[in-house]
Chains A and B, each alone.
Chain A
Amino acid sequence: GAVVSQHPSRVICKSGTSVKIECRSLDFQATTMFWYRQFPKQSLMLMATSNEGSKATYEQGVEKDKFLINHASLTLSTLTVTSAHPEDSSFYICSTNPSGANVLTFGAGSRLTVL
């Protein structure tokens, strides 16, 4: 089945630094990637939708300059948390909808801890 590889699984960084999270579709082309954020014991909040070759679509309330999303190829989408602060600490998950499946395939998630 379709596999999405998400890296890193865990990252700890200092406040003020930037962190990049990558999601790769391993055996299919992902024209669209969804990026979610999950707070402890809470549901997934859709942050943005990235589309290969075009600008990402951000959900209301999500800072575009804070969470940079790039989808430069059909197999790679990245989320960069810029100038990270402790409140950005969270679990970030990417997902995509392999063509015709109507079912989301998720990456394993990245736990970001900002000190």
Chain B
Amino acid sequence: AQSVAQPEDQVNVAEGNPLTVKCTYSVSGNPYLFWYVQYPNRGLQFLLKYITGDNLVKGSYGFEAEFNKSQTSFHLKKPSALVSDSALYFCAELSGGYQKVTFGTGTKLQVIP
């Protein structure tokens, strides 16, 4: 069973507006959660992670995510979107003794000039 879910295939936002890319998790206990970004024909780049501590995690390129245990969510946010933020975003969860990472289905973010 998939441990992270991204309910939106695509998110469109106007440049300068705040953006949110949604992720929910289903693993019990203390999840290790991540966000990665993928530009066309490239590997994935790490944005941020939640392991423990503050629920609000700040990452690269002005992105942040909030771990919400009651809603089992880890939504990615940015206060002001840039056209260059347009890419494919993956939520992921780390599990298992072999450090296996399970990815969500990805959300395509389109920032409109």
Contacts and interface: CB of A to CB of B under 8 A. Distances in A.
Majority-rule SS of B interface residues: strand
A32 B106 contact: no
Contacts of A72: none
Interface residues of B, number: 24
Interface string A81-103: 00000000001010101000011
Interface of B: 32, 34, 36, 41-46, 49, 51, 90, 92, 94, 98-106, 108
21 contacts: A4-B43, A32-B98, A42-B105, A43-B105, A43-B106, A46-B101, A49-B98, A57-B98, A95-B101, A102-B94, A102-B99, A103-B46, A104-B36, A104-B44, A104-B46, A106-B43, A106-B44, A107-B43, A108-B42, A108-B43, A109-B43
